[in-house]
Amino acid sequence: MPEASPRVLPVQAEVVPLGRVNQVACAVAAAHIKALLGLSSQVVQAAPEPDFAYLPVRGQHDAAALMDYLAKRRPSGVIRVGVTEADLCLPVFTFVFGEARLGGGVAVASLHRLWEGRYGRSAPRSLAYRRLAKVVCHETGHALGLEHCQELGCLMRFAGGLTTLDRLKMWFCPACAGELSARRAEPFSV
């Protein structure tokens, strides 16, 4: 009997608000995933407050724990991108704007540090949303399997601070864009 060919699933993205999150920010994230990564995306129902990931010693949320949570509820062929207002960290790092499993289909982004503006003031909403869109696209790129890029301005370039994040363009360099379209074309099997 001939072997049945594997079902090719179109890659989709779900933006999951983790607890109470600014709805406009989530919509901006979903729109940018669609526009820049070419994935169909939507904001889904919010998950409960992610208290389980809170680390009292650090006063921050563990990004790895949040990704585990997202991964458990991930349908096949779907990339789940969590958005939270909580401050995220990793065991080794003091903070992260976002985190993703490389090629693992899950990512998380935090708005917490993106509100920081000049001279101790809050950043305008438009700037904070633009920053979130960059973090979300960057992490979704990782979730699809893309590594960091050295190209100046490319969204896959590592940004460890707001200054570097603000310098990134809303753009994937040709190499990363090519890689993205190849990943989109592949059946998402993770």
Q: Which residues are catalytic?
A: 139
Shortest Cβ 132–another protein spacing (Å): 18
- The verdict on 89 binding another protein (CB under 8 A) reads yes
Q: Which residues of 26-52 are buried (b: 16+ CB within 10 A; e: fewer)?
A: bebbbebbeebbebebebeeebeebee
Quote the distance between the C-alpha of residue 180 and its chain's center: 15
- The verdict on 94 binding another protein (CB under 8 A) reads yes
Mask 115-154, x = binds another protein (CB under 8 A)?
Answer: ---------------------------x----xx-x----
Q: How far apart are CA 8 and CA 20, in angstroms?
A: 35
- The verdict on 55 binding another protein (CB under 8 A) reads no
**DSSP 8-class letter at 114:** G
- The verdict on 74 binding another protein (CB under 8 A) reads no
Q: How far apart are CA 85 and CA 93, in angstroms?
A: 18
- The residues binding another protein (CB under 8 A) are 58, 64, 89-96, 100-102, 142, 147-148, 150, 158, 160-161, 164
